[in-house]
Amino acid sequence: MTATTDGSAGAVSPRAAAASESTDTTVLATGPDRSAARALERAVEHLLDRQDPEGWWKGDLETNVTMDAEDLLLRQFLGIGDPATTRAAARHIRGAQREDGTWATFHGGPGELSTTVEAYVALRLAGDPPEAPHMARAAAWIRARGGIAAARVFTRIWLALFGWWRWEDLPELPPELIFLPKWVPLNIYDFGCWARQTIVPLTIVSAERPVRPAPFPLDELHTDPRRPNPPRPLAPLTGWDGVFQRLDRALRAYHRFAPRRLRRAAMNVAARWIIERQENDGCWGGIQPPAVYSVIALHLLGYDLEHPVMRAGLESLDRFAVWREEAPGPDGEGGPSRMIEACQSPVWDTCLATVALADAGLPADHPALVKAVDWMLDEEITKAGDWAVRRPGLPPGGWAFEFHNDNYPDIDDTAEVLLALRRVKHPDPARVDAAVARGARWTLGMQSANGAWAAFDADNTRTLPNKLPFCDFGEVIDPPSADVTAHVVEMLAHEGLAGDPRTRRGVDWLLAAQERNGAWFGRWGVNYVYGTGAVVPALTAAGLPPSHPAIRRAVGWLVSVQNKDGGWGEDLRSYDQVSWIGRGVSTASQTAWALIALLAAGERETEAVRRGVAHLVGTQREDGSWDEPYFTGTGFPWDFSINYHLYRQVFPITALGRYVHGDPSLRKGR
């Protein structure tokens, strides 16, 4: 495979060479310190070479092949498929298939039923015959696990669009949901923003129940093609399953007799809600699933493909495509492949890269850092979004994850951006101060009632949406998490607000959320290593001494799960199986997270840190980067996993930088 946007760096650029000269690593003369300094220099050069001329960084965001399969299904549904795109997508999907015929949701993970069903169907659309060995293996595995009937609801919705599944056998999702007041349970604002943006357009799809002629049958994916969906017994009314099963039956009856004017009004309001939330780049929420379903919903309501809203939406989806050139494999076939990103992460990547380079010793006024700050300042969101439903009086001021997502700034990005802005000496400090003040004010205003912070909304904690039979695709609410709260606490401490009562409530929540083993759960990164790597630096920044019992327990846990090779790794199965907690193949990003925590806890001279640093140095590639096929990020814990291709670079630089130059919080005497 040739180099991609995440490939090897070429010749060292003048700015990278200048950065290397300006990084004060010469003070470390011998042994592992000198090796770490040299590794740091190479890594800095590599990262600087990857900065966009506009000032941002962005690595590929790799998920699983359902994104690629659903993209092909969308094109088939709209009639806009083209042979070149189909061949390239199929090449990528084929390349991700496991030996047993299945597809996993993360590197090294087990086969997953719904992912395998969608990948199989996409390859059939691309022309792969069902009798081909790789297809036959996949179909046999699917049948052995219950067939299409056992797949998740979202997979069966895609199949229903082509008549491969009956709409009547799917949970009902009425568009009248849009009319529920904000105080009524199961109103759309009870769902996390990602679920909300997906469910609203799907209410239109569910009401319309469209069917495009299927180009072929899928009998080979049913355990019994004569009875593809045997009736399921009613669950007892003593549990939520039974309650919602009967509610779904009632809603199915309502579907047949729903007043036409009311239903049409609901769909029109839902369509207006969707259109109002389309971003300037044509996407919705900066993520692929809401964009896909919004395009389908509007198309069903009569928006033709040349309508500006539709055209912009389809163009935005094309920008999620990462094209690569595949080298010929054992079968001699090579050529272009096409991977669809579920999302893009330029703001997140840029603030993390800025912090990493500052930790690596670049001068605070280095041109690359100043340019990054200029770009981040331009990305500030100064208008209200859906978060204002719960915080109507709060002035805006935050950052999103993506290039364009003004409706949904997120608290995690905002906290990390503010930390990054404060690490750079900008020629217009007043502009930086004003942006930081707005961001800190907005972040404080988004604190939940329990004292912690979530990613996008405040107090989005009603658990009822999770119990809906429709919501089997992952987390659908946005409760506070330890990792986001930690980043906020760390930011507030660096803003001189460590003693503020709101910050102390966050600290208290973190201390109460510590697991018995000394770790913290990681909501947006894998997993306890990520959570612990975020919380320990936050607590020390907020003034807790390294001798504090909570920090000592965290250190003890990290040391206890260090791998024999000196690194750290934690498999995504740790979200599902207790035996996997703290266990997994060592990765560059997870090793860095552990080191960042240990360094913040004053453990620099310990054997654990020395071995961890040696692991990073020993696994670095000649171009200054690290290889990391394992997924260390999460969208939904266990259900949707992410490989952020820049994590393998920015976090090792931060860890090595703090090892070589000292942790910034400790240097400030906190």
Q: Does residue 110 sit in the same domain as residue 198? A: yes
Q: Does residue 571 sit in the same domain as residue 654? A: yes
Phi-psi region of 231 (alpha: psi -120 to 50; beta: other; left: phi over 0): beta
Q: Does residue 215 sit in the same domain as residue 135? A: yes
- pLDDT tens-place string over residues 427-454: 999 999 999 999 999 999 999 999 999 9
All residues at 6 or more sequence positions from 161 whose CB lies less than 8 Å from its CB, including other chains: 73, 77, 210, 211, 212, 296
> What is the number of alpha carbons within 13 Å of residue 179 lying toward its C-beta?
10
In this prediction, residue 54 has a pLDDT band, given cuts at 50, 70 and 90, of: very high
* Mean local confidence (pLDDT), 651-666: 89
In terms of C-beta density within 10 A (0-12 exposed, 13-18 middle, 19 or more buried), how is residue 614 classed?
Answer: middle
For this structure, is 412 an active site residue? Answer: yes
- pLDDT tens-place string over residues 373-413: 999 999 999 999 999 999 999 999 999 999 999 999 999 99
In this prediction, residue 64 has a pLDDT band, given cuts at 50, 70 and 90, of: very high
Do 307 and 294 touch, CB atoms closer than 8 A? no
The active-site residue, picked from 412, 457, 483, 571, is 412
Indicate the residue among 340, 372, 391 that finishes a domain.
Answer: 340
* Mean local confidence (pLDDT), 302-314: 95
H helix or E strand, kind and range, residue 21: helix 14-22
* Mean local confidence (pLDDT), 414-420: 98
What's the pLDDT score for residue 121? 98
The whole-angstrom distance between residue 117's C-alpha and the CA centroid of its chain comes to 23
Check residues 468 and 197 and name the one with the higher pLDDT.
197
Domain that holds residue 570: 10-49+514-670
Query: What does the mean pLDDT of the chain come to?
Result: 91
- pLDDT tens-place string over residues 180-195: 999 998 899 999 999 9
In this prediction, residue 463 has a pLDDT band, given cuts at 50, 70 and 90, of: confident
Residue 377 lies in a domain: no
* Mean local confidence (pLDDT), 93-98: 95
What's the pLDDT score for residue 442? 98
CA distance 156 to 489: 42
Residue 231 lies in a domain: no
In this prediction, residue 303 has a pLDDT band, given cuts at 50, 70 and 90, of: very high
Please state the domain count of the chain.
2
* Mean local confidence (pLDDT), 166-180: 92
Q: Does residue 139 sit in the same domain as residue 288? A: yes
CA distance 236 to 99: 41
In this prediction, residue 20 has a pLDDT band, given cuts at 50, 70 and 90, of: very low
Residue 561 lies in a domain: yes
Does position 101 have pLDDT exceeding 80, yes or no?
yes
Do 473 and 194 touch, CB atoms closer than 8 A? no
DSSP characters over 221-279: GSSSTTSSSPPPPPPPTTSHHHHHHHHHHHHHHHHHH--HHHHHHHHHHHHHHHHHTB-
> What is the number of alpha carbons within 13 Å of residue 602 lying toward its C-beta?
13
Please give the structure tokens belonging to residue 335: 């050529």
Q: Does residue 164 sit in the same domain as residue 197? A: yes
Does position 4 have pLDDT exceeding 60, yes or no?
no
- pLDDT tens-place string over residues 579-601: 999 999 999 999 999 999 999 99
Residue 501 lies in a domain: no
In terms of C-beta density within 10 A (0-12 exposed, 13-18 middle, 19 or more buried), how is residue 621 classed?
Answer: middle
For the chain, the distance separating the N- and C-terminal CA atoms, rounded to the nearest angstrom, is 47
Q: List phi, psi (to 5°) of 220.
A: -70, -5
CA distance 287 to 336: 24
Q: Does residue 565 sit in the same domain as residue 621? A: yes
Q: Does residue 570 sit in the same domain as residue 606? A: yes
CATH number of the domain within which 36 lies? 1.50.10.20
* Mean local confidence (pLDDT), 556-577: 97
Indicate the residue among 340, 357, 373 that finishes a domain.
Answer: 340
Indicate the residue among 340, 366, 387 that finishes a domain.
Answer: 340
Does position 132 have pLDDT exceeding 80, yes or no?
yes
* Mean local confidence (pLDDT), 618-647: 95
Instruction: Map residue 568 onto helix, strand or coil.
Output: strand
Residue 400 lies in a domain: no
- For 560, which DSSP code? H
The whole-angstrom distance between residue 549's C-alpha and the CA centroid of its chain comes to 32
* Mean local confidence (pLDDT), 134-157: 96
Residue 483 lies in a domain: no
Percentage above 90 pLDDT, the chain: 82
What's the pLDDT score for residue 329? 61
CA distance 653 to 658: 8
What's the pLDDT score for residue 594? 98
Q: Does residue 518 sit in the same domain as residue 569? A: yes
Q: Does residue 30 sit in the same domain as residue 173? A: no
Q: Does residue 133 sit in the same domain as residue 21? A: no
Does position 8 have pLDDT exceeding 90, yes or no?
no
Instruction: Map residue 663 onto helix, strand or coil.
Output: coil
pTM for the model stands at 0.92
- pLDDT tens-place string over residues 619-632: 999 999 999 999 99
Does position 204 have pLDDT exceeding 80, yes or no?
yes
Does position 255 have pLDDT exceeding 90, yes or no?
no
Q: Does residue 122 sit in the same domain as residue 93? A: yes
CA distance 594 to 604: 12
Q: Does residue 18 sit in the same domain as residue 111? A: no
Residue 1 lies in a domain: no
